[in-house]
Amino acid sequence: MPEPDAGVLARRREIVAAMRAIVPGEGVIDHPDGLRAYEADGLTAYRQPPLVVVLPETTEQVARVLAWCHANRVKVVPRGAGTSLSGGALPLADGVLLGLSKLNRILDIDYADRIAVVQPGVTNLAITRAVEEQGFYYAPDPSSQIACSIGGNVAENAGGVHCLKYGLTTNNVLGVELVTIEGEVLRLGGRGLESAGLDLLGLVVGSEGLLGVVTEVTVRILPRPQTARALLIGFAEIETAGQCVAEVIAAGIIPAGMEMMDRAAIHAAEAFVHAGYPLDVEALLIVELDGPEGECAHLIGEIEAIARSNGAVSIRASASDAERASFWAGRKAAFPAAGRISPDYYCMDGTIPRRRLPDVLRRMGVLSEQYGLRVINVFHAGDGNLHPMILYDANQPGELETAEAFGADILRLCVEVGGVLTGEHGVGVEKRDLMPVMFSPVDLAQQQRVKCAFDPELLLNPGKMFPELHRCAELGRMHVHGGAVPFPELPRF
Amino acid sequence: MPEPDAGVLARRREIVAAMRAIVPGEGVIDHPDGLRAYEADGLTAYRQPPLVVVLPETTEQVARVLAWCHANRVKVVPRGAGTSLSGGALPLADGVLLGLSKLNRILDIDYADRIAVVQPGVTNLAITRAVEEQGFYYAPDPSSQIACSIGGNVAENAGGVHCLKYGLTTNNVLGVELVTIEGEVLRLGGRGLESAGLDLLGLVVGSEGLLGVVTEVTVRILPRPQTARALLIGFAEIETAGQCVAEVIAAGIIPAGMEMMDRAAIHAAEAFVHAGYPLDVEALLIVELDGPEGECAHLIGEIEAIARSNGAVSIRASASDAERASFWAGRKAAFPAAGRISPDYYCMDGTIPRRRLPDVLRRMGVLSEQYGLRVINVFHAGDGNLHPMILYDANQPGELETAEAFGADILRLCVEVGGVLTGEHGVGVEKRDLMPVMFSPVDLAQQQRVKCAFDPELLLNPGKMFPELHRCAELGRMHVHGGAVPFPELPRF
């Protein structure tokens, strides 16, 4: 890497000094060793150390950092816990990385109104930990919940295995405090479901750090259900498993979670954690019911009947919480299990209409042969959210590129059958160039006009979500042409 | 009223001719008798015949109408069924009233994916009618559901007695087709919960016709619950009724609906429909449970115990659907019942945190004495959504103004205790001047910047929602000043 010239170095010194004047002590990191810890998020194929890392401790510091960056036209990338799987927190070489990890306090818990008010750096699981003694929990449960922060959950509209019944982050967040790039502090939403005026809260959830920086989140907490039980159901064919899922939903049952694993995933998981999964099946369903004991027992009977009528070859219902945990053990270990059988894997995240499941899996198998890469499938079957894991070896020249091309084809397939590019991981840098597969130029232009209403200088997390960003002043209403801001080459690792 | 001058008449003729060129036959109304039918919506204190009424039959006609109006700088007020209680469809003397009533077809029903795709003029109840034979229904159920259209429901984010369990419109709409003021056709959301990019769908729901015109709506349909039962519980004090509501929720029970009526409402309703309500109580709760039969029976037992421990003086559980209907008869007749005991009434719509209910009702009583006007209360107690009805006589000089001042004080009180200006009726013209009670200038400016991202010339439904509209080009990012577009005097009837 060539040495930066004197002008660049002077600019860097000026930015670092300004940040130090706002955030004292160890809250500003500019040493290369320190920066390296922030060079990637969960999408580790892309790495880029930022110009400087700033870790404010108060909303006021966040506002001052953003206002200074706005006044001085410095780009800003917000970062929660850095667990994004779509590169949402990938730094910019000439930008400030604004880490929210030190804003990590729980500010208020109100059981009568069933809400918790927390700072963005609080982890997803810490919310549940804080309220579980009173019998409550926070419903969205992404796999990374022990590490990921609620601020990041808001940015990515995170989901989890229970979002079939309890919704995504957007269905569980009632209000946020948002700091704009100019340092203005907005309050969006409140402590209830209702709002007046334009619903900017729904817009900000899932906006991937492009509209502002969230410094406080009010979430809905739920009473822990009286009981939870799970079913483990094996099928000789993917098609009949998919049909079973469709019939459960059509029967009006909304399980707390309904997960599917294909043969490759079952074998990988079983070899890793010995969960006791049947190995002679093509598909395994884990169906969890929660609620009053009588209701769970009743629904388990109904689902067993549906499974049997679809030719299930094995059915087990958990008789204890320990057994229920064993059913989940393999599913929860699917990602590390993939890591055991392949040097690298690439986890995709697309959604499809439930009924297209068998068709999509068949076509994914054809793609797997074409690309010469194995794929193992775990997915939130109930809401049609696929997580295919493409197995590859980054040390083999060209294999990463092949895996990415395969992944892009999977996402195109999802959109083609009426699904969505992303279920819960966000667009980030990973899927930004696929956005035109899903959206017309008119749709994308309107989304960007809304971005411009928050950040007309395009300083917040540029290079994410939009395949190209048009200068706001040039974003003609009738015609989208010219004026696109060039993104830097993506810093592939 | 003075005769308009020649220039105004020529302009009117030009606009009408342009509309006739796009929408043939009886779809354009400009005769004064015809216009009068559209001069008000459900907020009948305000009336203003529009310049012309246009009733397109296709999305393409909607797009052409809007594009022409944009090119010729003509204001447009969209209208669904005209049942808005906040004046959301109040016409403008110099604007086109764009009625969506002829876009009234159900386009697709997909039971496997549990969705219905409908045009905006389809009534709320017609969706349920179309799917009920297969055992499904559409959950949001505003009181006006027999008349109100799904397009209007989207514009106002309508609720109903069941939104405690099933959410508002925003929780039940998966996608829309939206035509912008320039005639561009956008598709927002899709057929599932997930989306990619900025969530413009959540923004458009509840935007009161200020961002675009919805020409197609994809809604979630739900399987009809196996059973529904209701409890009718009387209390000697409002406070204990409020405490009972809080404890039901805190116990983790989410009833399908939980409604409260105060003494005045009970007596008015009983005198009207003879529902068999107890007359010696201060508050009546109607709690509806739905789901599997065993679950309902179990929960009814739990709620009875909570009610007893809070000193309930009467408890009845419905033993049949007929009895359940009788419990609801009085509540559903509350509005006409108010009309029977008073020449006029003004129905408010604010929300408060549930636990503030007794306090707010007490202070509302004090306000009632101060203003010298009776108020009767029915409300969605479960989600803290109040519907106080202020009784007045429009024939008494000044009484309407007194009622409105009283109503504004009630809404200020809601905001003061942490609630929201509107639960499900929208801001419209009714509450627009109260928006600064709830939102800071910075919050309002950001909302308007988003409005400008859709409609920079402020042609769509101006005069609604925002207390003042700033010309978009003059809406400085740091300072909100000057440049406000003057609204016409509100056309009070």
Contact across the interface for A202 and B199, Cβ inside 8 Å: yes
Q: What is the pLDDT of residue B486?
A: 62
Residue where a domain stops, chosen among A99, A126, A160:
A99
Q: Which residue of A has its CA nearest to B115?
A: A353
Mean local confidence (pLDDT), B234-248: 91
Residue where a domain stops, chosen among B181, B207, B224:
B224
Contact A140, A168 (CB under 8 A): yes
Residue A10 falls inside a structural domain: yes
DSSP H/E element including B319 = none
d(CA A17, CA A11): 10
CATH of the domain at A208: 3.30.465.10
SS3 of B264, please? helix
Residue A453 falls inside a structural domain: no
Exposure on the CB side of residue B411, measured as CA atoms within 13 A = 29
Q: Which residues 6+ apart lie within 8 Å of A266 measured at CB?
A: A277, A278, A279, A281, A284, A330
Asked if the model's pLDDT at residue A41 lies above 90, the reply is yes
Of B198, B205, B440, the CB nearest to A447: B198
- Tokens 């995709």 sit on residue: A348
Q: Structurally, how many domains does chain B consist of?
A: 4
* Pair (B261, B346) in one structural domain: no
CATH of the domain at A58: 3.30.43.10
Q: What is the pLDDT of residue B481?
A: 42
Amino acid present at A232: L
d(CA A31, CA B346): 65
Q: Which residue of A has its CA nearest to B479?
A: A184
Q: What is the pLDDT of residue B480?
A: 42
Contact B166, B222 (CB under 8 A): yes
Contact across the interface for B200 and A446, Cβ inside 8 Å: yes
Q: What percent of chain B has pLDDT over 70?
A: 96
* Pair (A45, A114) in one structural domain: no
Of A171, A198, A456, the CB nearest to B450: A198
Q: Which residues of A touch B440 (CB under 8 A)?
A: 186-187
Q: What is the pLDDT of residue A176?
A: 97
Contact across the interface for B447 and A225, Cβ inside 8 Å: no
- Tokens 């505003």 sit on residue: B142
Residue A426 falls inside a structural domain: no
Contact B84, B41 (CB under 8 A): yes
Residue A388 falls inside a structural domain: yes
Mean local confidence (pLDDT), A96-105: 98
Contact across the interface for A447 and B203, Cβ inside 8 Å: no
Contact across the interface for B193 and A383, Cβ inside 8 Å: yes
CATH of the domain at A359: 3.30.70.2740
* Pair (B254, B383) in one structural domain: no
**Chain B interface disruption, residue of A68, A193, A207, A411, most B CBs within 10 A:** A193
Nearest-neighbour CA in chain A from B248: distance (Å): 10
Mean local confidence (pLDDT), B175-204: 90
Contact across the interface for B450 and A452, Cβ inside 8 Å: no
pLDDT confidence bin for A309, thresholds 50/70/90: very high
Contact across the interface for A192 and B420, Cβ inside 8 Å: yes
* Pair (A188, A297) in one structural domain: no
Backbone φ and ψ of B324, nearest 5°? -60, -45
> Looking at A158-265, which runs of residues are DSSP E strands?
173-179, 185-189, 213-220, 222-223, 227-235, 257-262
d(CA B221, CA B160): 16
Q: Which residues of A touch B355 (CB under 8 A)?
A: 112-113
d(CA B380, CA B159): 10
Q: What is the pLDDT of residue B428?
A: 93
Mode of pairing for the β-strands spanning A257-262 and B52-54: unpaired
With 0-12 / 13-18 / 19 or more C-beta atoms within 10 angstroms meaning exposed / middle / buried, residue A267 is middle
Write the pLDDT tens digit of every residue in A63-78: 999 999 999 999 999 9
Residue where a domain stops, chosen among A315, A334, A353:
A334
Of A184, A203, A443, the CB nearest to B442: A184
* Pair (B412, B350) in one structural domain: yes
Write the pLDDT tens digit of every residue in B320-371: 999 999 999 998 888 889 889 999 999 888 999 888 888 898 899 999 999 9
* Pair (B256, B109) in one structural domain: no
Write the pLDDT tens digit of every residue in A114-162: 899 999 999 999 999 999 999 999 999 998 899 999 999 999 999 988 8
* Pair (A117, A205) in one structural domain: yes
Backbone φ and ψ of B383, nearest 5°? -110, 20
Of B186, B298, B456, the CB nearest to A477: B456
Q: What is the pLDDT of residue B476?
A: 56
Asked if the model's pLDDT at residue B137 lies above 90, the reply is yes
Q: Which residues 6+ apart lie within 8 Å of A99 measured at CB?
A: A38, A53, A54, A55, A79
Asked if the model's pLDDT at residue A310 lies above 90, the reply is yes
Q: Which residues of B touch A112 (CB under 8 A)?
A: 246, 249-250, 353-355
Of B168, B196, B443, the CB nearest to A438: B196
Mean local confidence (pLDDT), B427-440: 90
d(CA A464, CA A89): 9
Nearest-neighbour CA in chain B from A42: distance (Å): 19
* Pair (A183, A235) in one structural domain: no
Exposure on the CB side of residue B401, measured as CA atoms within 13 A = 4
Contact across the interface for B420 and A251, Cβ inside 8 Å: no
Contact across the interface for A294 and B298, Cβ inside 8 Å: yes
Mean local confidence (pLDDT), B111-123: 93
Mean local confidence (pLDDT), B24-40: 95
What token pair was written down for B17? 């001719």
Contact across the interface for B353 and A187, Cβ inside 8 Å: no
Rounded to two decimals, the ipTM of the complex is: 0.87
**How many Å separate Cα A316 from the centre of its chain?**
31
d(CA A209, CA A124): 18
d(CA A486, CA B128): 50
Asked if the model's pLDDT at residue B313 lies above 90, the reply is yes
Of A184, A203, A383, the CB nearest to B202: A203
DSSP H/E element including A254 = none
Write the pLDDT tens digit of every residue in B255-294: 999 999 999 999 999 999 998 999 999 999 999 999 878 8
- Distances A13 to A10, A55, A76, A98, B484 between C-alpha atoms, Å: 5, 17, 16, 17, 43
Q: Which residues of A touch B385 (CB under 8 A)?
A: 194
Write the pLDDT tens digit of every residue in A227-253: 999 999 999 998 899 889 988 987 878
Q: Which residues of A touch B446 (CB under 8 A)?
A: 180, 184, 186, 200, 453-454
Residue A430 falls inside a structural domain: no
What is the biggest distance separating any 2 CA atoms in chain A, rounded to whole angstroms?
Answer: 74
Residue B324 falls inside a structural domain: yes
* Pair (B240, B220) in one structural domain: no
Of A192, A449, A465, the CB nearest to B384: A192
Q: What is the pLDDT of residue B2?
A: 63
Q: What is the pLDDT of residue B383?
A: 83
Contact A319, A247 (CB under 8 A): no
Contact across the interface for B465 and A435, Cβ inside 8 Å: no
Asked if the model's pLDDT at residue B245 lies above 60, the reply is yes
pLDDT confidence bin for A408, thresholds 50/70/90: very high
Contact across the interface for B385 and A194, Cβ inside 8 Å: yes
**Count of A-B CB contacts under 8 Å:** 233
Q: Which residues of A touch B199 (CB under 8 A)?
A: 157, 170, 202-203, 205-207
Contact B8, B454 (CB under 8 A): no
Residue A481 falls inside a structural domain: no
SS3 of A26, please? helix
Write the pLDDT tens digit of every residue in A321-363: 999 999 999 998 888 898 899 999 998 889 998 888 888 988 9
Range of the domain at A398: 342-416
Q: Which residue of B has its CA nearest to A449?
A: B453
Contact across the interface for A198 and B206, Cβ inside 8 Å: yes
Q: What is the pLDDT of residue B14?
A: 97
* Pair (A118, A219) in one structural domain: yes
Write the pLDDT tens digit of every residue in B395-411: 999 999 999 999 999 99
**Mean of the per-residue pLDDT values of chain B:** 91
Contact across the interface for A207 and B199, Cβ inside 8 Å: yes
CATH of the domain at B274: 3.30.70.3450
* Pair (A346, A393) in one structural domain: yes
Contact across the interface for A453 and B449, Cβ inside 8 Å: yes
Contact B359, B413 (CB under 8 A): no
Contact across the interface for B170 and A199, Cβ inside 8 Å: yes
Mean local confidence (pLDDT), B477-482: 43
Q: What is the pLDDT of residue B356?
A: 86
**Chain B interface disruption, residue of A198, A210, A466, most B CBs within 10 A:** A198
Mean local confidence (pLDDT), A422-445: 90
Asked if the model's pLDDT at residue B432 lies above 70, the reply is yes
Residue A13 falls inside a structural domain: yes
* Pair (A346, A358) in one structural domain: yes
Contact across the interface for B191 and A418, Cβ inside 8 Å: yes
Of A223, A440, A478, the CB nearest to B182: A478
